[in-house]
Amino acid sequence: MNAEMNHAETPAAGAQVLLRALKEQGVEVIFGYPGGAVLPIYDALFQQNAIRHILVRHEQAAVHAAEGYARSTGKVGCVLVTSGPGATNAVTGLVDALMDSIPLVCLTGQVPTHLIGNDAFQEADTVGITRPATKHNYLVKRSEDLARVVHEAFYVARSGRPGPVVIDLPKDILIKPAPYVEPTREPHRSYRPQTEPDAGQIDKAVALIKNARRPILYTGGGIINAGPEASALLRELVAETGIPCTNTLMGLGSLPASDPHFLGMLGMHGTYEANMAMHGCDVMINIGARFDDRVTGRLDAFSPNSKKIHADIDASNINKVVTVDVPILGDAGKILRALLERIRSLNAQPDRAAITAWWRQIDSWREKRSLAFVQPDAPGSIIKPQHAVRRLFELTRQSGRETFITTEVGQHQMWAAQHFGFERPNHWMTSGGLGTMGYGLPAAMGVQVAKPDALVIDIAGEASILMNIQEMGTLAQYRLPVKVFILNNQYMGMVRQWQELLHGSRYSESYSEALPDFVKLAESFHGVGMRATSVDDLDRVILEMIKCDRAVIADIAVDQGENVYPMIPSGAAHNEMLLGPDKNRDNAEVTNAGMVLV
Amino acid sequence: MSDVTNGQRIATISVLVDNEAGVLARVIGLFSGRGYNIDSLTVAPVDADLSRSRITVVTRGTNAVIEQIKAQLGRLVPIHKVADLSADGPHVARELGLIKVIARGEQRVEALRIADAFRAKIVDTTIESFVFELTGASEKIDAFIDLMRPLGTTEISRSGVAAIARGTRTII
């Protein structure tokens, strides 16, 4: 590498300049897949040791792996794919990162500049295709722009609301000499997101909090993205005020699950107490969440009697779905700090007696035990999926190992969110906004690369896992001991559940026909396969899996008919939950309007 | 420009952007991707060194939708400034129309009379046709075109709206 090279020297090839800029931006790992258009970059990679390259088996997986890397470290993830199909395969991952605000820089190869627009081999209009799939994208057409664009891309990816950035690199730009420039210290000429909250808005929020009698904190991925300090500040705020707190799917881990103020996740499959408290609160303090439709349920009945405070780094999230009383634009950590300082200096804690009465009400909702399930304990009993997650949680906790959980998408994802207790931020990676099946295995791979000694487990379903199963090969090549914990009910479980509840139990195309033998599959990829078919096997399999120092697929046969409860059916309000097959429906029913919703 | 029909208003939004490839596609993609209307759109470089362009979009929606459009525009990376001219105070909005009228005899004379009343300029003429140039508010151009249509074959080319705040306010 030319790390010691000075400005004025003979310019190096574009590919070398690119790697130098990446190194300057702190890139240690690239997840990628080679091809014709990016051969110069691979040649430059071959001749250096500073940046490690992880060869995935499919470009989509490269992006998810970079997401897992970014989410577990707080750094910007880096991806390298070739032109045409390399770039189009990456698109799902890019949209996934966009929806969940994950900072990534994705380098895509492109045909040489003089061939652009000619339908050349492996040409695709990558900037056109990825424009709505990224936070921003670039096509580098002049060598003198190359280094600046790379620096700028990293700034854009990590600043404000983080997101994926694509840099499209024509092959001639990678081969021709290019000048290197250092990153500038000046802010971007047009993109300067506001991170410091307005003091007046903080005061308005504190005034609402001071007079609140039934307040609730509703916090999301913005707190995770603001760094671990933000989660620590949330804990302090909760302790200072006694305000109950619920997390979105993206926000799990920001408040320890063991904190008595934690109400669990809210929304479509959130706890009864979280949703009822959202419905009945008088002051809602949303920090870093975006009133997603999975969270709000029916909008015209969403928390009808509350004053709403909404803190967000992205102005377009404010008043987008729910009109709020006190918007606060800024970084979640800075906002939490400002709120906490102001509450302390003004002694603006809400009235103790009112908070105590509010907790009495919440405790009565908690008594519904909305996440309860019955695991038959007779020998040979079929495993309930919730029980499998609970045991996984207990046994990993007892192991004392630092544990990271990723998931695919579906029922298993919701059971993981409900039953695995997350104590710390950045230890839970799931595809929230886009809901990408096939996310969990490559994401776990990325986490394991970043945290080689940690226990990284992909809680999966048997359908989702097959969407990126080829990455078992990557695990083998790099000896990444990722554990794939499949809750195998032989159905696309969430589809089956909706068909049961909304489509007269007509299970159209949701049965997982002709499944592979996952034990043999793991072995064929040089991993270890395990299987539990009854409750008697479960703990033994989990313990063996935790102990194993290689990649594992644990195939856990679970009850096929189990549904995720509680559930707010589409088009219903927070106080209209389905609590379970054996409990009273809390006046919930699916309307025709609700049927239309996804 | 603040017609109010069923809670909707027309908004004239000026956006100062980096003059770089793809920036117009970003703005248009935002409108189509999120289902907003574009009634008119103009764009041209405005800085001496051509480094920035000004896009003027005329759109319609409820106040909440207009606010959302501005916030969405504001988060695009190459955008320097977003101004809602119709909400921020008085502004001037002008459009240029080129209107070709192919007519003979009395119709031709009538076209000329109307053009005179509108102070339209004749920029091309043949025995059978005129091309009129007319500048003004969009409504004025609408009215002119409505009067011309019955007089013969017409062909219309309009620039879309360019707008700027009155007085000393700027968005530079």
On the question of pLDDT at B3 being above 70, the answer is no
pLDDT (tens digit, 9 = 90+) per residue, A317-350? Answer: 999 999 999 999 999 999 999 999 999 999 999 9
Which CATH number goes with the domain that contains B40?
Answer: 3.30.70.260
B residues 85-144 near A, CB within 8 Å? none
pLDDT digits (tens, 9 = 90+) for A89-117: 999 999 999 999 999 999 999 999 999 99
List helix spans (H) across A347-459. Answer: 352-366, 385-399, 411-419, 440-450
Residues of each domain in chain A carrying CATH 3.40.50.970: 12-178, 385-557
- Chain B residues with CB-CB distance to A137 below 8 A: 22
The Cα A64–Cα A437 span in angstroms is: 11
Start-to-end C-alpha separation, chain B:
22
- Please check whether residues B110 and B149 belong to one and the same domain: yes
Reported as type and span, the H/E element at residue A564 is: none
Give the domain extent around B49: 4-88
Q: Which is the catalytic residue, given A31, A59, A284, A485?
A: A59
Is A500 a residue of the active site? no
Whether residue B68 and residue A319 make contact (CB cut-off 8 A), yes or no, is yes
Tell me whether residues A189 and B18 touch, CB distance under 8 A: yes
Measure CA A331 to chain center.
18
The one-letter amino acid at A534: S
B17 to chain A: nearest residue by CA?
A: A190
- Would you call A276 helix, strand, or coil by DSSP? helix
Q: Which of B69, B88, B107 is the last residue of a domain?
A: B88
pLDDT classification of A585: cutoffs 50, 70, 90: low
Give the pLDDT confidence score for residue A1 in this predicted structure: 43
The C-alpha atoms of residue A208 and residue A245 are separated, in whole angstroms, by 16
Q: Which of A139, A156, A316 sits opposite B68 (nearest CB)?
A: A316
- Same domain, yes or no: B8 and B70: yes
Q: Does B71 touch chain A (CB under 8 A)?
A: yes
Q: Is residue B170 part of a domain?
A: no
Structure confidence at residue A11 as a pLDDT band (50, 70, 90)? confident
**Cα B108 from Cα B101, distance rounded (Å):** 8
Residue A595 confidence (pLDDT) above 90: no
DSSP H helical segments within A117-198, as ranges?
126-130, 146-158, 171-175
Catalytic residue status for A204: no
pLDDT band of residue B2 (cuts 50, 70, 90) is very low
Contact (CB, 8 A) for B55 and B14: yes
The position carrying tokens 């989410």 is A71
A135/B67 touch (CB, cutoff 8 Å), yes or no: no
Segment A72-86, tens digit of pLDDT: 999 999 999 999 999
Q: Could you confirm whether A59 is annotated as catalytic?
A: yes
What's residue A5's pLDDT?
47
The CA distances from residue B60 to B26, B38, B66, B108, in Å, are: 19, 8, 7, 37
Instruction: Check CB contact under 8 Å for B25 and A316.
Output: no
Q: How much is the pLDDT for A303?
A: 96
Q: Are residues B17 and B76 in the same domain?
A: yes
Amino acid at the residue A312? D
For residue B58, the distance in angstroms to the closest alpha carbon of chain A comes to 20
* B58 domain residue, yes or no: yes
CATH topology of domain A12-178: Rossmann fold (3.40.50)
Write phi, then psi, for B133 (nearest 5 degrees). Answer: -115, 130
Cβ <8 Å between A136 and B25: no
Same domain flag for B112 and B48: no
Assess contact for B153 and B87: CB atoms under 8 A: no
- Cβ count within 10 A of residue B39: 14
Cα–Cα distances (Å) from A467 to A58, A458, A476, A497, A513, in that order, read 11, 13, 18, 20, 15
Cβ separation of A190 and B80 shorter than 8 Å? yes
Q: Which of A48, A122, A470, A477 is catalytic?
A: A122
Told to judge if A577 belongs to the known catalytic residues of this protein, a careful annotator would answer no
DSSP state at residue B70:
H
- Give the residue-averaged pLDDT of A255-266: 98
Percent of chain A at pLDDT exceeding 90: 92
Same domain, yes or no: B10 and B82:
yes
Would residue A171 show up in a list of annotated catalytic residues for this protein? yes
Sign of CA dihedral A441, A446, A452, A453: negative
Please state, in angstroms and rounded to a whole number, the distance separating the CA atoms of residues A524 and A189.
53
Look at residue A233 in the predicted model and tell me its pLDDT.
98
Q: How far apart are CA A62 and CA A60, in angstroms?
A: 5
A186: pLDDT confidence band, cut at 50, 70 and 90?
confident
Substitution target from A136, A291, A322, A323 for chain B, most B beta carbons within 10 A: A136
pLDDT range class, residue A187, cuts 50, 70, 90: confident
Nearest to A320 among B17, B68, B78 (CB): B68
- Which residues on adjacent β-strands are paired with residue A556? A487, A532
The reply to whether B25 touches chain A by the CB within 8 Å rule is yes
Tell me if A127 and B22 make a contact (CB, 8 A cut-off): yes
DSSP structural state of residue A37: G
- Give the Cβ contact number of residue A337 at 10 Å: 18
> Is-contact B164 B91, C-beta < 8 A?
yes
Helix (H/G/I), strand (E/B), else coil: A413: helix
Residue where the block lists tokens 């794919």: A81
CA distance A530 to B131: 82
**How far off is chain B from A512, nearest CA to CA, in Å?**
34
Q: Do B75 and A139 touch (CB under 8 A)?
A: no
Q: What is the mean pLDDT of residues A204-213?
A: 98
> Would you tell me which CATH number, out of the four given (3.40.50.1970, 3.40.50.1220, 3.10.450.50, 3.90.1170.50), belongs to the domain A199-366?
3.40.50.1220
Distance CA(A373)–CA(A371), nearest Å, equals 7
CA dist list (Å): A376 to A379, A384, A388, A414: 9, 8, 12, 21
Confidence bin at B5 (pLDDT 50/70/90)? low
Mutate one of B77, B79, B84 to test the A interface: name it (highest A CB count within 10 A).
B77
What CATH number does residue B137 fall under? 3.30.70.1150
pLDDT at position A582? 67
DSSP character at residue A462: T
Structural domain ending residue among the three candidates B88, B118, B141: B88
Q: Which residue of B has its CA nearest to A159?
A: B77
Nearest-CA residue of chain A relative to B77?
A191
Tell me which residue of A520, A516, A517, A554 sits closest to A537, measured CA to CA: A554
Whether residues A320 and B18 touch (CB distance < 8 A) is answered with no
Which regions of chain A carry the CATH code 3.40.50.1220?
199-366
State whether residue B34 sits within 8 Å of chain A by CB: no
pLDDT band with cut points at 50, 70 and 90 for residue A175: very high
- Of the pLDDT bands very low, low, confident and very high (cuts 50, 70, 90), residue B18 is very high
Residue A296 near residue A324, CB atoms below 8 Å: no
pLDDT of residue B1: 42
Among A132, A160, A315, the residue with its CB nearest the CB of B71 is: A315
pLDDT of residue A2: 46
Q: How many contacts does A have with B, using Cβ atoms within 8 A?
A: 46
How far apart CA B151 and CA A189 sit, in angstroms, is 53
| C-alpha pair distances (Å), A138 with each of A123, A130, B55 | 16, 10, 20
> Is residue B47 within 8 angstroms of chain A, CB to CB?
no
| Per-residue model confidence (pLDDT) at position A57 | 98
Closest residue by Cα to residue A74 from A95, A94, A103: A103
Task: Identify the residue with better confidence: A188 or A265.
Answer: A265
**CA-to-CA distance for A450 and A67, rounded, in angstroms?**
11
The CA distance from A11 to the nearest CA of chain B, in Å, is: 26
Our measurement of the distance from residue A436's CA atom to the centroid of its chain's CA atoms, rounded to an integer in Å, reads: 10
Q: Distance from A4 to chain B by nearest Cα, in Å?
A: 32
Q: Which residues of B touch A135 (CB under 8 A)?
A: 77
Domain boundary among B88, B118, B134: B88
Strand-pairing partners, residue B131, are B100, B124
Q: Nearest by CB to A191, which of B26, B33, B77?
A: B77
Cα-based torsion angle of the residue sequence A122, A124, A130, A132 in order, rounded to the nearest 10 degrees: -150
A174 DSSP assignment = H
Phi, then psi, of B18 in degrees rounded to 5: -65, 135
* Number of domains within chain B: 2
Write down the pLDDT at residue A583: 63
> In a mutagenesis test of the B interface, which of A190, A291, A320 is the best target, namely the one with the most B β-carbons within 10 Å?
A190
Q: Which residues of A touch B25 (CB under 8 A)?
A: 128, 131
Lowest mean pLDDT of A1-10, A35-44, A315-324, A408-417, name the range. A1-10
Pick from A231, A268, A281, A274: nearest CA to A253: A231
Rounded Cα distance between B18 and B77, Å, is 9
Q: Do B75 and A132 touch (CB under 8 A)?
A: no
Residue B77: its chain A contacts at CB < 8 A?
135-136, 156, 188, 190-191
Answer yes or no: is B172 within a domain. no
Residues B104 and B38 in one domain: no
Distance CA A337, CA A333 (A): 6
B chain contacts of residue A127, beta-carbon cutoff 8 Å: 22
Complex ipTM more than 0.90, yes or no: yes
Q: How far is B40 from chain A (nearest CA, A)?
A: 22
The per-residue pLDDT for range B61-113, each reduced to its tens digit, is: 999 999 999 999 999 999 999 999 999 999 999 999 999 999 999 999 999 99
Architecture of domain A385-557 in this structure: 3-Layer(aba) Sandwich (3.40)
Using alpha carbons, select from A247, A244, A230 the residue that is nearest to residue A418.
A247
Mutate to test the interface with B, among A110, A191, A314 (most CBs of B within 10 A): A191
Q: pLDDT at residue A4 above 70?
A: no
List, for residues A115-132, the tens digit of each pLDDT value: 999 999 999 999 999 999
Cα atoms in the 13 Å half-sphere on the side-chain side of A360:
7
The b-or-e profile of A293-312 (16+ CB within 10 A means b, else e) is ebbbbbeeebbeebbbbbbb
The reply to whether B105 and B158 lie within a common domain is: yes
A323–B64: do the CB atoms touch at under 8 Å? yes
Using a CB–CB cut-off of 8 Å, the residues of A that contact B are 127-128, 131-132, 135-137, 139, 141, 156, 160-161, 188-191, 314-316, 318-320, 323
- Cβ pair A146, A17 in contact under 8 A: yes
CB-closest option in A132, A139, A190 to B18: A190
| Distance, CA of A477 to CA of A488 (rounded, Å) | 26
In angstroms, how far apart are the furthest CA atoms of chain A? 77
- Round to whole Å and give the CA distance between A90 and A66: 11
Which DSSP symbol is given to A114? G
Query: What's the whole-number average pLDDT of chain A?
Result: 95
